[in-house]
Amino acid sequence: GAGAMAAVRNVEIDPEGTFKYILVRLQRPGGGEQRDIVRGTKAAEFHNHIFEKVNPEMEKLGYECKCLGGGKIEHNSKDKKIRVFGLSTGYGKADHSVTVEILKKEYTDYEITWSDDKK
């Protein structure tokens, strides 16, 4: 039930650097509860590498996943700043304003901004 969804972290991103990220919508088959999560890592050369890792993990928990788009995250943990920008060629641009709201829940003391800049 709701416990399993609560166990899924809103955000899993690298602690430092600039890397690709995707915004993923989790949904119970047949509707019902849904939520959006943010995943990003330097280990991913392409955005679909992130999705290919997240999707099976979430399917095991009984969720359908849909990628809502992607972009890049610049994470500066020293200055406590996160910048969300760019887009995914394959998935299109995520709604960075949504991503920022999700990030703010986890990084409460950070300055978090977004733009449609490519770099």
> Binding site, residues?
20
Q: Is 47 a catalytic residue?
A: yes
- DSSP secondary structure of 56-87: HHHHHTT-EEEEEEEEEEEEETTTTEEEEE--
Two structure tokens written together for 7: 């166990």
Give the Å distances, CA to CA, from 43 to 20, 29, 48, 59.
Answer: 9, 30, 12, 22
DSSP-derived 3-state class of residue 119: coil
Task: Find the catalytic residue in 47, 49, 75, 96.
Answer: 47
d(C-alpha 112, C-alpha 36), whole Å: 18
**Catalytic residue annotation:** 47
